[in-house]
Amino acid sequence: MTQKRRKTKSERTRRKEKIVSFVCLLVISVIWSIPLLYMVGSSFKSDLDLQLHPEKLFPSSWDEWTLKHYAGFLVRGGQVDNMPIWMLNSLWSTAASIVVTVVFDLITAYALVFLKFKGRDSIIRFLFLWMAVPGVIGTAPGFVIFSQIRNALDLSSAGTYLYIYFWLIIPSGTGIFNMLLMRNFFRSIPPDIVDSAKSDGAGHRVIFRRLVCPLARSTILLIVLFTFTGSWNNLAWPQLLLSGESSYWQTVTVALTGYTGGASWGQVGVSMATSVFSLIPIIIIFIITQNKMIDGIASTGLKG
Amino acid sequence: MDDQILQDRNTFLSLRHLEKIYPNGEKAVHDFNLEIAKNEFIVIVGPSGCGKSTMLRMIAGLEDVTAGDILLEGELLNYKPSKDRKMAIVFQSYALYPQMNVYDNIAFPLTINRYPMPVRSGESFFWGELKCLLDTDKAESFLGAVYEEASGKKSKRGRTEKLALQFGISFETAKLALSLSEERKGDDLSAALSAWRERAVFEGEKGREALKEEGLAADEEFYLINERGERITENRKLTDYEIKARVFETADKLDLVPYLDKFPRELSGGQMQRVALGRAIIKNVPIFMMDEPLSNLDAKLRLSMRSEIVKLHQRIGATTIYVTHDQTEAMTMATRIVVMSRGFVQQIGTPKQVYNDPANIFVARFIGSPTMNIFKADLDIAAGRFDLDGMSIEAGEGFLRKHEAFYQKAAEKFEDMRANYGPAAREKLLRILSCTGEYKNFGGRRAAYKKGLAKFISLFRKRKVSEEPDAEIAILDEKLSKLRSYAGYDHEVMIGIRPERIRIEKCEQGKDYKNCYVVRPTVCELLGGEYNIHFDFCGQDVVANFDAEQSISQNDEIAVRFSPKDIYVFDPVTGGRIM
């Protein structure tokens, strides 16, 4: 009974494979998480500790833990600073981006999969090709169109704000990758289901709303997550559009560059704290969507 | 055309010269003609890829019709969208909506369509309904149930719905009854009965007066009527309660009530099948279409569902079109069978006709289990006998006359085709090839599949038109010369005999088996009531049935005899049946 059975060859190789993959994943995740941990740890270090022990991940002793940096950017001179306003700017524009993206993607993917029209395959091939073009290429022409229309419109202050945010939100809704993700999912829906709904008397609107969209829930969540991170972390484009505008109008990422730029060397702690603060929404969204996201990745055949 | 419709009063659904050509140029259905009467159970049967599912999808409106007409009671359906065709379709994969539970699946068609419903006269309608119920002999049990429910502990809505479903009345009437019972608590039943009746009559009359003042009128059951005394109808969506009542009724028919709140993934194959049927039934349409509905079920369930479907068909008086590749299903369920091969209809007839009187060699091979045994035999015209590997069988009475007529006709047909070779003649040739089974060997019919650069170059090249007809004409010529040489001379024929018609005797010692073929069986399969006996004959495996009252094994010798009246004779060139 006590004698241990020698493991079979396949069991041994499987074990070996498991160990190797575990080690690889561990190394990769440590490499990926060190900067994150360093950021979180440094945001709690006191100023002195930041100077003396920059090599440590966390404050060197219990006394060195402080929340000063968080207070430093939230409250300035006894008053609440602009941070909540920036957060709000980021939040509403991200939410709008998500809505626009999901609606665009659902409608486009539906048309590409369930409607038969001439040139459908060419459109899809063109979109695949277009994905190879880096988005940065659109920056310069986009900005020219943006500024010319803005000059021509001669907007009021509030109008300018809305106009800039329109330009932040709408282009992000046209991402091809998410749309193709949705298309892949739609193609996996058995055609019999759609045929059967058609003979039950459903038109395209009913099929879209009652059949296809509920089925696509996990893919929608996946797109929500992708769009949220993309839009929340977006820096170059908002910075371009918002430069020279009122500081109240900035998004979180744009505002953070003020803490991390060359002029703010003395405020390492504050910049770390703001970075951690701005990550909170992403972490919340990730926790909410992660289960569904794995479903979504599995059902769209996307290699994660 | 109109005269024809008037003549054919029995015709319900009429399919005329239907054809389907797919965008890639493949022709899936050739010239399909069928007149279907009401309450028929039509089974379209054929091997996979013969165009039977395409046919069904065309009728259902899920696939465009390339040519031909679909007429439902004389009304052209070709361009009607699927939902207006009064048809329900059941798919092989059941096609249940995975995110909805069974209830929602069954209710789906009701929730999205509008139905013509008679208009009710407002509140007096419910009083009328209550009165009708109180006048029947169910009145006392109803009252009892109402008083019981009134003191029940469930939610008010739940109690009302239960009452309504139990007595088949509308939701509002049940609500009315419950509120009445609140008013008259403590009455004994008979007193309550008369009081309620009075109240119902009074309220009904009041409602009628009020209607008169508005210039409207209502009939006995308080539906609004117009001047001619007909009920006024409106197209409206059904209310939640109406849907619920119909879903429960349907689920009850199919024994699905315990599963209503389960999701499709939690059901077994048979249950999913029943849900799919329920979704078709609840639409209350005259035509049912089923696309191999049983092929995903296990063997035992398939047997029971087979009879279930036939029973269902008879009970709801529907017209059913059923597609399958299983000839047993076709034989057992159909009132008429359509046998298809390669897009061509081979034969249309009752199961008996198709079995006993197959039109050609394809039908003979396809229908029947175990399949018909078919041998090559030499026909000796002078003696009027077939020579089957040494065994001689007399050709039946009048065979030679039929033989002569057959080959004369066939040769004439081929000469005509050869003389005016064109699309019509080509169609005829393909039809013949589809029945002899040579179709797939028919080279050069479809352009070879090209890849990459070769495909790109071929786009700019002119297609060679001449190649194909040449090959076809060569086949035509070959067949024609054979047919000419067959008329009046000895030649090869195909002889078919059903397994149960082969006379088998167990050999006994000392008995003389003249004109019999004596052989040892290779395999004896006991099916219970009978044996399927395999033996070698003419260099091929032959199956015969043998009664299981005598036991038999590989070591026994058997004597095989064919009776001339049981054999079918086919022409090897065209596949047609000579006798």
pLDDT of residue A304: 34
Of A195, A198, A211, the CB nearest to B97: A211
* Rounded average pLDDT over B85-110: 86
CB contact under 8 A, A197 and B279: no
Could you tell me if B91 lies within 8 Å of chain A, comparing CB atoms?
Answer: yes
Residues of chain A with confidence (pLDDT) below 70: 1-3, 72, 76-80, 259-266, 292-304
Confidence of residue B325 (pLDDT cuts 50, 70, 90): confident
What is the nearest CA distance from A110 to chain B, expressed in angstroms? 17
- Nearest Cα residue in chain A from B88: A199
- Residues in chain A closer than 8 A to B85 (CB atoms): 199
CB contact under 8 A, B97 and A199: no
**B535 domain-assigned:** yes
Confidence of residue B453 (pLDDT cuts 50, 70, 90): confident
The pLDDT of residue B69 is above 90: no
pLDDT of residue A302: 45
CATH of domain A83-300: 1.10.3720.10
* Rounded average pLDDT over B125-135: 72
pLDDT of residue B469: 63
* Rounded average pLDDT over B200-226: 71
**B379 domain-assigned:** no
Of A199, A211, A215, the CB nearest to B89: A199
Of B92, B99, B109, the CB nearest to A200: B109
What is the nearest CA distance from B37 to chain A, expressed in angstroms? 22
The pLDDT of residue B445 is above 70: no
The pLDDT of residue B464 is above 60: no
CB contact under 8 A, B97 and A193: yes
Same structural domain, B452 and B542: no
Could you tell me if A211 lies within 8 Å of chain B, comparing CB atoms?
Answer: yes
CB contact under 8 A, A201 and B88: no
Q: Give the range of the structural domain holding residue B418, as residue numbers without chain letter.
A: 399-493
The pLDDT of residue B439 is above 70: no
- The more confidently predicted of residues B244 and A31 is A31
Confidence of residue B443 (pLDDT cuts 50, 70, 90): very low
Could you tell me if B62 lies within 8 Å of chain A, comparing CB atoms?
Answer: yes
Could you tell me if A119 lies within 8 Å of chain B, comparing CB atoms?
Answer: no
- Burial of residue A269 (CB within 10 Å: 0-12, 13-18, 19+) is buried
Cα separation of A75 and B354, whole Å?
92
Q: What is the pTM for the complete model shown?
A: 0.74
Tell me which residue of B85, B96, B110 sits closest to A196, measured CA to CA.
B96
User: Do B206 and B124 form a contact (C-beta atoms < 8 A)?
Assistant: yes
Same structural domain, B121 and B229: yes
pLDDT of residue A30: 92
Same structural domain, B134 and B33: no
- Nearest Cα residue in chain A from B106: A200
Could you tell me if A206 lies within 8 Å of chain B, comparing CB atoms?
Answer: yes
- Nearest Cα residue in chain A from B57: A195
Cα separation of A219 and B84, whole Å?
33
Residue A30 tokens, joined: 């440590």
Sheet containing B391-394: order of strands: B391-394, B385-388, B373-380, B491-497, B568-570
What integer best gives the mean pLDDT of chain B? Answer: 78
Which tens digits make up the pLDDT trace of A51-67?
Answer: 777 777 778 777 778 77
CB contact under 8 A, A210 and B112: yes
Cα separation of A241 and A71, whole Å?
29
Tell me which residue of B123, B121, B142 sits closest to B200, measured CA to CA.
B123
Residue B570 tokens, joined: 């086919």
Tell me which residue of B462, B431, B430, B428 sits closest to B447, measured CA to CA.
B462
- Residues in chain B closer than 8 A to A200 (CB atoms): 83, 108-109, 112-113, 279, 283
CB contact under 8 A, B62 and A202: no
Same structural domain, B165 and B206: yes
Percent of chain B at pLDDT above 70? Answer: 86
Same structural domain, B519 and B480: no
CB contact under 8 A, B83 and A202: yes
Of A195, A198, A215, the CB nearest to B99: A215
Of A193, A198, A210, the CB nearest to B82: A198
**B544 domain-assigned:** yes
Percent of chain B at pLDDT above 90? Answer: 0
Could you tell me if B403 lies within 8 Å of chain A, comparing CB atoms?
Answer: no
pLDDT of residue B449: 58
Burial letters for B224-261: b for 16+ Cβ neighbours within 10 Å, e otherwise?
A: bbeeeeeeeeeeeebeebbbbbbbbebbebbebeebbe
Same structural domain, B509 and B487: no
Same structural domain, B228 and B291: no
- The more confidently predicted of residues A20 and B78 is A20
- Among A186-200, B155-169, B367-381, whose mean pLDDT is lowest? B155-169
Domain extents for chain A? 83-300
- Residues in chain A closer than 8 A to B62 (CB atoms): 195, 198-199
Residue B352 tokens, joined: 């008996």
User: Do B311 and B17 form a contact (C-beta atoms < 8 A)?
Assistant: no
Give chain B's domain count.
4
User: Do B213 and B110 form a contact (C-beta atoms < 8 A)?
Assistant: no
Same structural domain, B509 and B556: yes
Of B87, B93, B99, the CB nearest to A199: B87
Instruction: Tally Cβ neighbours within 10 Å of residue A108.
Output: 19
Same structural domain, B122 and B222: yes
Could you tell me if B82 lies within 8 Å of chain A, comparing CB atoms?
Answer: yes
**B68 domain-assigned:** yes
DSSP run (H or E) holding B363: helix B361-366
